[in-house]
Structure 1
């Protein structure tokens, strides 16, 4: 509950539907209404700007109360009879409070029953009874509103401090220190505030009307009192005392609302920022400039005021017909878009032109969002049918239905699944290989679409060129821009790494050490014991021997994430191979540091340095080298689409002379399960990859499972997914993930080999025997006791694997990824006599005379001896 004090008022005290004075900054009002017309009229004037709490006990019918709620009342106060008539299935209980005349604990409990609605206690005279009741009620309870028969500051503050919401006559509220008959609003607001600071100041988050954080400051009771008095941002500086924001810079703040968080240890100031911005660096916020819609709005508002005559934006503001045409054009293109990136692109265009129309009319995003909030308060629902002119004609309907493409069938299947389960259960879309056409199955197995190559390359190429030309300076600029690590002065951390950067809990060190040793053992076992020597014919000896790649770059994604596992998977085989120079690259955190786990792994593998950068700029730095970054001969490691694109670009640039491990796409897993599989294990394995990102994909191939067995797995997926902190990401990944029902293991393996998964998990009977059927996979996990997670971390196999179907052509990272093979030939005189004629004949056929003569000269010399 954000409003800690609720000002009670009368219609006659409202001006244009709003309060005046310090109470205006609470963002809430309380009124008793006598009829539905009066209530709706009030709500039409106030709801988009303030939260409205209405005593509707005087209304005669439930229909009238529903109308008031539908008109946007935040909360209605009802009597017991009205409460029993309201339908809890269609009404949010948070929007109802029960008016009670109970003066004893037993009467109040009887009034409440087992309902979860709020409580409104009227004309309280025995405040000690209410405060004792609030203490016993505890912290977690529905809202408790308390109005007093004789309101005073001490009683109101006591109720507020205990989590109650004092309802106080607006005429009694003041921003000045208490005087006879008045109540200091700041005193009551701050009554329950908590501070863990020695100086007693309160953390204060300052946001704009969209909720975007502008900065973090501190407040005191005195500064809050000044803010309420002046209607502007006033805070408590730890050095200068009261800080009237904007007095020296001119960047003042108009106060909109003051409230407190649920724990009462942080104040929230909602303001309208004036001037250049909130930050002393003249940026919109202390966390950088606005982004997204807020940034667009600011730009459009600026353009409206000063767009050059004849510019496109000026034309849009001045030509309403052009703007109308562009909105309709972009809306049409959005309707036609089908791919994820295409939809995002067209939606962005539509938002641009829609917001231009808003700004032209003086409408802000905040106004739009308030209207959205209003719509969310609706109780009565319209059918939601489209207007007739926008509905497809019968001929168009017939035409569309006459072409049942695999993609259309899949969309229909997803819609059917959603209709069958409107609860929003997280579940994979089912297909039956014995019933669905083969083309539908193949279409269902398609990975989520990635951004177009053209767009990605348009971003990546300039970055690579810039780093190639300007070196460290460009690399640092991109790190400052993308990682927000503006304090960073060097793009590289050189070995030996300070102990202070590797301070880790003992259990983390032990986990890394165990994993490190298992990875080392497995990759060390891949070493060739001795060179290959073959005498292909008498006197002709061919050999092959291996040498480590001298300089390798290991890209470890991260930034805010901690990925020591990837550092180990790339660094340990490089160490085992004997690479002379190992360079790690990983995005730094915002403070410019790199996670200690990665530093510790870099130390263990003997890395020369850690490049403190990510994205295309890190790839370019390692490919070409800079003043501080060593040039490498090969770059390995996973990354997003920009990293992958950059790896492809530099590997095709002969001036870079650098190789890469493999192309890559989003993470994925395919689980094959039969009747012996444990549903909880199957679900856990699917979700372990779904949580990577919304563009990840998981596939379940179910071998002859019954409906009950499939539902058991689906129930586990939903239950486990909803318990995950990244449930929204999981939901996005599951949206394009599928279950394929097949009859046999042979059929399952055939589909798996077509898909070529990054991770293949076999939860089937005699799983070891099925490995022989695997043709395409990055890594295989055999049996119920082998989750994919062990491969990601500690078993010893490598987790840097081919994705997006590249398992058909590429291996995962292994010792061979860090080794090059060199061949040698050693011929005796006899050997050249044996093979020479064949060489000369083939050179003659190819008309390469110098090749032929290189042999004939030698043979002639042998003959002349």
Structure 2
């Protein structure tokens, strides 16, 4: 709360009072004087609309729109403005006689009152402030012709009331019978608990977000001089009055002076000049840390503007307005396309760098931007906020700013492909695909020009907020665990919109549930045969036996995991291929119980493709549920759902979080296949690559979901060849039924330019992609260098789609960089290995002493005794 409020009018004289008063609190101004250029920019303005004013509601709102902080209006205007204007922008003007006439509606629609009284009577004023508990109360003794005393100001402040003092009763000179010095009025309430009577004073930077510069002391004399001069003046405990920077040149401009809540300390908000506040020529006395974030960037750019080295990038930006304009548009576009919080922060930082460079070049600083934001925030009248036509997503011309923004994301504008696009006819667009004129483009990076930090950023995936997702799925998992089938049925009705009588289907499966077109059935049969053949070859059918020393034989043999749960997604696509990829190795491994879980369709049925695969792989049950509830049912079991020992299968973030949750619950005693994330593909392409093939491979993963990760690594390709691939991506994408998904996933994807196959493979190994596709002149030779990948597709005629469906390899693969540690799903994933050892009497004679010695070393007497008791028996 302010100590006092000055009431100014057009007769304030030469305006000498204005700047000092603006440093210590708000100014009350009449409407015709409120917006003049003589009012200091830093002033907080309250506009007084008196009872005899002819201003309308629209005029009052206009004053707020033009920058007034508050308006003080009579009751008649307040009735119309309350609820229209935010309460914190309104004060109610009352005569003392009508204080009790204010309704609750008006009282709640304003932040305080200004009460006109004939004179100051502290006891009387205290009696009616109870009407406005929780609101600010200001008192204006309209008939007073004498200045208030400091004791009166102090008494009113103690009663939570602020005195309004006409400017005619204020002076910069010494207080006398006619006027009170503004510093005396401001300091009427201040107290000091120090023997020397000084006041602790915190000095903060007005330009660096309020950063503390130092702690000093003030006296009544130093404060008065600071208020009047606008310079930092303090009281040195050793040398008396201290005018900051008088000898060093590190002067201060005082923007605002405030008392703390106890009126025993002050804060000076200043603009610091010169070497800094500290006598050690640092910005702050508190440590050596310099400014950070935007303030640090502003300091750097200001320095670069004055003395950037020739040839530096920042110098180039300052000297080339068109380049700077293009970069701002490029970074704005990339920020709009960013998806995860990490990507958004990364792209926003780039945009702020270029935007602030533009500001510094134009002589605009953060303080100016902050002031503009504050002014905008004061507007009561709001525009609709619609985008201008040239920036809307429906723009079809290639000449508008949106086209320039999209084109700026690569060094070269795509050229028409030299290859005829016979595989993607122009007439193939469906459901409005291709309506937007903005190209569907990736972001390009040259690996040779990236820093270590930038390269690391290229390798990163979106941050998976596992803890947050686990917290969200935990109530679902707990509900299924506690209530079983009842919870499953309720959650399936809620999330899958399917009303079920029972959550489980058991064999034999009804023929009518597996009715398929002949070509689909035949395709599934071929895929089943290939996948079965490859996974059968992986099975560990024989026992490994090794005689490690005479009479000591160690063995390892495989046994199937008895009960497995296979999660088959059913969200944005039907995935019988996943049922094949999980069901076949489970069948080959010999799992006794195979439970498929898949979300039902709204009518409660399961897709006939999945039903047919379930029969082929010998599923023992089908759980008609999806999401976390399906995972919970598999992990803990219900009256209808068998409990399993291991859960397999991809899914969305709810499924992944639920799998992670249950595997860490010792009561569940369940394992999972691997961590899962969005689908990924990394394509390495050299001069032999077919642009249409490469584009098709990229899109085959991009269509999985908006968070799919797609990377193209080029080997020595010139810009025109890369542009050809990009044009093919754009052309083919527009022909896809899932083009809306591709429009979101492709712009978040990247092109990495490298100079050699070795460099490309090294980047891929660091990235560890789920799918790696090699479009190389000698692709088979490159496989030997691959260290981290889920599955590799070698040569131009090995599309990733073959592995997804029917070549024989498994498509359930590690994502999110986990190819460094995990294998894809295979037959061994459904088996566990048990070891055994058989030691003969002669074998124990040779091995026993070794074992006993090691047991003694570890202090495990019983272990040693188990050997020695046998050795004694053999002696």
User: CA 1:599–1:540 in structure 2 vs 1: closer, same or farther (change >3 Å)?
Assistant: same
Is residue 759–residue 780 contact of structure 1 (8 Å, CA) maintained in 2?
yes
CA apart distance, 1:674: 0.6
Aligned equivalents of 2:592, 2:617: Cα separation in 1: 11
Aligned equivalents of 1:649, 1:776: Cα separation in 2: 27
Match of 2:624 in 1: 612
Aligned equivalents of 2:394, 2:713: Cα separation in 1: 43
Correspondences of 1:814-825 after superposition (within 5 Å)? 814-825=826-837
Matched, 1:722 2:734: yes
Aligned equivalents of 2:481, 2:551: Cα separation in 1: 49
Is residue 553–residue 582 contact of structure 1 (8 Å, CA) maintained in 2?
yes
Correspondences of 1:411-810 after superposition (within 5 Å)? 416-417=409-410, 424-450=438-464, 452-485=465-498, 487-559=499-571, 561-810=573-822
Aligned equivalents of 1:654, 1:751: Cα separation in 2: 39
Is residue 715–residue 754 contact of structure 2 (8 Å, CA) maintained in 1?
yes
Deviates more, 1:563-572 or 1:712-721: 712-721
Aligned equivalents of 2:389, 2:784: Cα separation in 1: 58
CA apart distance, 1:511: 0.5
Aligned equivalents of 2:704, 2:659: Cα separation in 1: 21
CA apart distance, 1:368: 7.3
- From 839, 856, 866, the equivalent of 1:827 is 839
Other structure's SS at 1:522 match: helix
Match of 2:254 in 1: none
Other structure's SS at 1:710 match: helix
Aligned equivalents of 1:664, 1:378: Cα separation in 2: 36
Q: How many pairs does the alignment contain?
A: 491
The gaps in structure 1 that reach 5 residues or longer are 1-313, 323-331, 347-360, 386-411
User: CA 1:374–1:416 in structure 2 vs 1: closer, same or farther (change >3 Å)?
Assistant: closer
User: CA 1:319–1:549 in structure 2 vs 1: closer, same or farther (change >3 Å)?
Assistant: farther
Other structure's SS at 1:434 match: helix
Is residue 768–residue 783 contact of structure 1 (8 Å, CA) maintained in 2?
yes
Other structure's SS at 1:796 match: coil
User: CA 1:345–1:377 in structure 2 vs 1: closer, same or farther (change >3 Å)?
Assistant: closer
Other structure's SS at 2:538 match: coil
Match of 1:134 in 2: none
CA apart distance, 1:370: 10
Correspondences of 1:832-843 after superposition (within 5 Å)? 832-843=844-855
Match of 1:854 in 2: 866
CA apart distance, 1:834: 0.7
**After superposition, what is the alpha-carbon deviation per residue over 1:63-100, rounded to whole angstroms, capped at 9, x for unaligned?**
xxxxxxxxxxxxxxxxxxxxxxxxxxxxxxxxxxxxxx
User: CA 1:675–1:376 in structure 2 vs 1: closer, same or farther (change >3 Å)?
Assistant: closer
Other structure's SS at 2:603 match: coil
Matched, 1:340 2:339: yes
CA apart distance, 1:342: 4.7
Is residue 534–residue 542 contact of structure 1 (8 Å, CA) maintained in 2?
yes
Other structure's SS at 2:500 match: coil
Aligned equivalents of 2:715, 2:623: Cα separation in 1: 47
**After superposition, what is the alpha-carbon deviation per residue over 1:319-378, rounded to whole angstroms, capped at 9, x for unaligned?**
7889xxxxxxxxx9xx999973559999xxxxxxxxxxxxxx9x9xxx979999999899
Q: Scaled by the length of structure 2, what TM-score is found? A: 0.53
4+ residue runs of structure 1 moved beyond 3 angstroms? 317-322, 335-346, 367-379, 412-423
Aligned equivalents of 2:703, 2:758: Cα separation in 1: 30
Deviates more, 1:659-668 or 1:452-461: 452-461
Is residue 761–residue 782 contact of structure 1 (8 Å, CA) maintained in 2?
yes
Other structure's SS at 2:644 match: coil
CA apart distance, 1:445: 2.8
User: CA 1:340–1:429 in structure 2 vs 1: closer, same or farther (change >3 Å)?
Assistant: closer
CA apart distance, 1:726: 1.5
Query: Over alpha carbons, which structure has the higher Rg?
Result: 2
CA apart distance, 1:549: 0.7
CA apart distance, 1:417: 3.9
Aligned equivalents of 1:443, 1:425: Cα separation in 2: 24
Aligned equivalents of 1:855, 1:861: Cα separation in 2: 10
The gaps in structure 2 that reach 5 residues or longer are 1-103, 113-293, 295-331, 346-379, 415-435
Is residue 445–residue 738 contact of structure 1 (8 Å, CA) maintained in 2?
no
Aligned equivalents of 1:415, 1:696: Cα separation in 2: 23
Q: Scaled by the length of structure 1, what TM-score is found? A: 0.53
Other structure's SS at 2:566 match: strand
Is residue 672–residue 761 contact of structure 1 (8 Å, CA) maintained in 2?
yes
Other structure's SS at 2:777 match: coil
Correspondences of 1:202-351 after superposition (within 5 Å)? 340=339, 342=341
Is residue 684–residue 775 contact of structure 2 (8 Å, CA) maintained in 1?
yes
Aligned equivalents of 1:521, 1:478: Cα separation in 2: 39
CA apart distance, 1:677: 0.6
Is residue 541–residue 558 contact of structure 2 (8 Å, CA) maintained in 1?
no
Is residue 448–residue 696 contact of structure 1 (8 Å, CA) maintained in 2?
no
Aligned equivalents of 1:318, 1:568: Cα separation in 2: 66
Aligned equivalents of 1:430, 1:766: Cα separation in 2: 25
Correspondences of 1:10-25 after superposition (within 5 Å)? none
Match of 1:265 in 2: none
CA apart distance, 1:542: 0.3
Aligned equivalents of 1:689, 1:627: Cα separation in 2: 39
Aligned equivalents of 2:868, 2:534: Cα separation in 1: 49
